[in-house]
Amino acid sequence: MNAGELPVGTVLGYAGITPGDLAADGWLRCDGERYDGTVHRELYEAIGFAFGRVASNPPMFNVPDLRGLFIRCTADAATRDDRDPEWRWRSPLAAGGHDRADVGSYQDYGTAPARNGLTAAVNRADVPSTRDDAGCGPLVAEHNDRTTRVPVLGGDLESRPVNKYVHFVIKSRAGAGAPLGAVVPYAGPAGPRPGTWLLCDGAELSRFGPYKALWDAIGYVHGRGEDDTFLLPDHRGWFLRGVSGPAGRDPDRTRRTAAAEGGRQGDEVGSAQSWATAVPTNRERPATVAFQNLPDTDKGKSIAGAIRHVALRNSGSATVTLHPSGGDAESRPGNAAVDFYVVGRPYGEAVPVGTIVTAGGPVPAGGGWLPCDGRLLPVAEHAELAAALDYRWGGSAGTGVQLPDLRGRFLRGADHGTGTDPDANDRTRCGTGKPSEVGSVQGFATGAPRTPFTVAVPYLPTDSRQVHGETRGGIAGFGGARSVSVFEGGNADTRPANVYLNAYIRVR
Residue-wise pLDDT tens for the chain (508 aa)? 466 789 999 999 999 998 878 999 999 999 999 999 999 999 999 999 999 998 888 999 999 999 999 999 999 999 999 999 999 999 999 999 999 999 999 999 999 999 999 999 999 898 888 766 656 566 678 888 889 999 999 999 999 999 999 999 999 999 999 999 999 999 999 888 778 999 999 999 999 999 999 999 999 999 999 888 999 999 999 999 999 999 999 999 999 999 999 999 999 999 999 999 999 998 889 999 999 988 887 766 555 555 567 777 677 888 999 998 999 999 999 999 999 999 999 887 689 999 999 999 998 777 799 999 999 999 999 999 999 999 999 999 999 999 999 999 999 999 999 999 999 999 999 999 999 999 999 999 999 999 999 999 998 887 777 666 554 567 787 778 999 999 999 999 999 999 999 999 999 9
Is 491 domain-assigned?
no
Whether residue 34 is found in the same domain as residue 95:
yes
The amino acid that residue 169 corresponds to is V
Q: Is residue 428 domain-shared with residue 351, that is, in the same domain?
A: yes
- Domain annotation covers residue 229: yes
- The DSSP call for residue 323 is -
Distances in Å between the Cα of 29 and the Cα atoms of 35, 96, 340, 361 are 12, 20, 20, 16
Q: Let me know if residue 256 belongs to a domain.
A: yes
> Of 366, 16, 369, 310, whose CA–CA distance to 183 is shortest?
16
Number of structural domains in the chain = 2
The answer for residues whose C-beta is within 8 angstroms of residue 469's C-beta and 6 or more apart is 131, 132, 133, 303, 305, 307
Length, in residues, of the chain? 508
* Statement to judge: residues 369 and 240 lie in one domain: yes
Q: Are residues 340 and 391 in the same domain?
A: yes
The strand pairing partners of 495, in sequence order, are: 110
**Does 274 lie in the same domain as 189?**
yes
From the list 309, 316, 279, 322, the residue with the least C-alpha distance to 294 is 316
CA atoms within 13 Å, Cβ hemisphere of 44: 14
Number of neighbouring beta carbons within 10 Å of residue 170:
26
**Which domain range does residue 469 map to?**
118-158+286-328+448-485
Whether 37 is in a domain gets the answer yes
Under 8 Å between Cβ of 342 and 233: yes
DSSP codes, 20-79: GGGGGGTEEE-B--EEETTTSHHHHHHHTTTT-EE--SS-EEEPPB-TT-EEEEPP-TTT
| Residue 233 maps to a domain | yes
Same domain, 154 and 168: no
User: In this structure, are 175 and 86 located in the same domain?
Assistant: yes
DSSP labels, 249-292: --TTGGG-B-SSTT---SSSTT-EE--EEE----SSS--EEEEE
**Which are the contacts of 41, defined by CB distance < 8 A and separation ≥ 6?**
none
Whether residues 129 and 146 share a domain: the answer is yes
DSSP at 365 = T
The pLDDT score that the predictor gives to residue 471 is: 45
Label residue 326 left, alpha or beta by phi (over 0 means left) and psi (-120 to 50 means alpha). Answer: left
Query: With the CA atoms of 151, 157, 159 and 164 taken in that order, what torsion angle do they form, in degrees rounded to the nearest 10?
Result: -170
* Same domain for 35 and 128: no
Provide the whole-model pTM: 0.94
- Please count the CA atoms within 13 angstroms of the CA of 52 that sit on its side-chain side: 17
Q: Are residues 208 and 148 in the same domain?
A: no
Kindly state whether residue 490 falls inside one of the protein's structural domains.
no
d(CA 64, CA 80): 22
Q: Same domain for 280 and 301? A: no
Element (H, E) at 376: strand 376-377
Residues ≥6 apart with Cβ < 8 Å to 220: 230, 231, 262, 263, 264
How, if at all, do strands 335-343 and 410-413 pair? parallel
**Does the residue 432 lie in any domain?**
yes
Task: Give the per-residue pLDDT at 365.
Answer: 76
Cβ–Cβ < 8 Å for 267, 243: yes
Rounded to the nearest 10 degrees, how much is the dihedral formed by the CA atoms of 455, 459, 463, 469? -140
- Strand 163-171 and strand 239-242: the pairing is parallel
For 260, which DSSP code?
S
Do 413 and 464 reside in the same domain of the chain? Answer: no
Predicted pLDDT at 305: 57
